[in-house]
C-alpha cells in the first residue's frame, strides 16, 4: 500500500516518445502543488525519460513500479 | 538547458519528424526552442508544403507504415498538425530562412501563421544559435 494519495491518473499506454512526456507536462500544469500524478506507460523509454523530466522540471518522482510490461510512476508536483 | 536552436534542412516526412519530436520534448521541459527552416525544409512552413511532405528514395514504399505507426505513438501523423501542437506549447518558434524562401517559393503570403516570419540566416545564427545552450542541425 502506498504512503501517498494519488490526485490524478494519466494513462499513456500504447503511446511512445515524445507523447508520455508531453502529456505528463500538460497533466502537471493542471495540478496544484503537492498533488500526485500517477503515470501509466508502456513505452520503456519512459524509464529514463520520466526521472530525467522530473529532475529537469523540479518535480519529485516518488515511486516507479513495473508489472507485466506496464510501468507506473508517481510524481509529486513541487513546482 | 534553457534554450535550444535547431536548423532543419531535410524535408522528407520521416527526416523532419526527429527535429520536431526533439522540439516537442524540449518544450515539455520549458526549454525555449527556435527552429530555422532552410533549403527544401522551408516548404514545411506552408500549408501546401507541409501536406506534400513524403518519404524519399529507398524508404518511400514504407511511408504508409511509418504514418500509421506515428499515429499509434500518439503523434499527429500530419506535419502541420505537429507544427501547430509545438506552437501551442508556447515554447517553440519557427523561422523561415529568407534565402530558402526566395529559392523555394515561400513568402509572407503563404507562410503559415504559426511561423514567426522570414529571417536572414545571419540573424538566426547570431541571435538564436550562438546564444542557445544547445544547437542541433538536421
**CATH match for B3-137 among 3.30.1360.120, 3.40.50.10800, 3.40.1260.10, 3.30.479.10:** 3.40.1260.10
Tell me the percentage of chain B whose pLDDT exceeds 70.
Answer: 100
Please indicate if any CB of chain B lies within 8 Å of the CB of A6.
no
* Chain segment B12-66, per-residue pLDDT in tens: 999 999 999 999 999 999 999 999 999 999 999 999 999 999 999 999 999 999 9
Taking a contact as any Cβ pair under 8 Å apart, which residues of chain B between 65 and 94 contact chain A? Answer: 72-75
Q: Where are the domains of chain A?
A: 8-76
Q: What is the dihedral of CA B17, B22, B23, B26, to 10 degrees?
A: 160
Listed residue (B99, B75, B102) closest to B86, CA to CA: B75
Q: Is B14 left (phi over 0), alpha (psi -120 to 50) or beta?
A: alpha
Please indicate if any CB of chain A lies within 8 Å of the CB of B58.
no
Q: Residue A32 — φ and ψ, nearest 5°?
A: -95, 160
Please indicate if any CB of chain B lies within 8 Å of the CB of A12.
yes
What kind of architecture, by CATH, is found in domain A8-76? Answer: 2-Layer Sandwich (3.30)
pLDDT at B30: 96
List strand residue ranges (DSSP E) for B24-81, in order. Answer: 32-37
* Chain segment A5-27, per-residue pLDDT in tens: 999 999 999 999 999 999 999 99
Contact B7, B138 (CB under 8 A): yes
Question: What mean pLDDT do residues B80-105 have?
Answer: 97
Residues of A in contact with B1 (CB under 8 A): 56
Q: Where are the domains of chain B?
A: 3-137
Contact A77, A35 (CB under 8 A): yes
**Closest CA in chain A for residue B19:** A18
Contact A56, A28 (CB under 8 A): no
Amino acid at each position: 500500500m502506498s504512503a501517498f494519495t494519488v490526485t490524478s491518473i494519466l494513462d499513456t499506454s500504447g503511446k511512445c516518445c515524445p507523447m508520455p512526456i508531453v502529456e505528463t507536462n500538460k497533466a502537471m500544469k493542471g495540478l496544484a502543488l503537492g498533488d500526485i500524478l500517477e503515470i501509466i506507460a508502456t513505452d520503456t523509454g519512459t524509464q529514463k525519460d520520466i526521472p530525467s523530466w522530473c529532475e529537469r522540471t523540479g518535480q519529485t518522482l516518488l515511486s516507479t513500479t513495473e508489472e507485466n510490461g506496464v510501468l507506473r510512476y508517481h510524481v509529486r508536483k513541487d513546482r | 538547458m534553457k534554450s535550444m536552436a535547431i536548423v532543419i534542412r531535410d524535408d522528407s516526412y520521416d527526416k523532419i519528424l526527429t527535429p520536431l519530436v526533439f522540439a516537442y520534448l524540449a518544450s515539455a521541459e520549458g526549454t525555449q526552442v527556435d527552429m530555422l527552416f532552410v533549403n527544401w525544409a522551408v516548404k514545411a512552413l506552408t500549408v501546401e508544403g507541409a501536406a506534400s511532405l513524403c518519404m524519399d528514395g529507398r524508404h518511400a514504399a514504407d511511408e504508409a507504415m511509418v504514418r500509421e505507426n506515428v499515429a499509434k505513438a500518439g503523434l499527429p501523423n500530419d506535419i502541420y498538425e505537429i507544427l501547430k501542437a509545438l506552437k501551442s506549447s508556447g515554447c517553440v518558434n519557427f523561422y523561415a530562412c529568407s534565402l530558402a524562401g526566395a529559392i523555394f517559393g515561400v513568402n509572407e503570403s503563404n507562410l503559415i501563421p504559426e511561423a514567426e516570419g522570414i529571417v536572414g540566416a545571419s540573424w538566426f545564427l547570431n541571435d538564436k544559435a550562438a546564444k542557445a545552450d544547445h544547437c542541433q542541425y538536421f
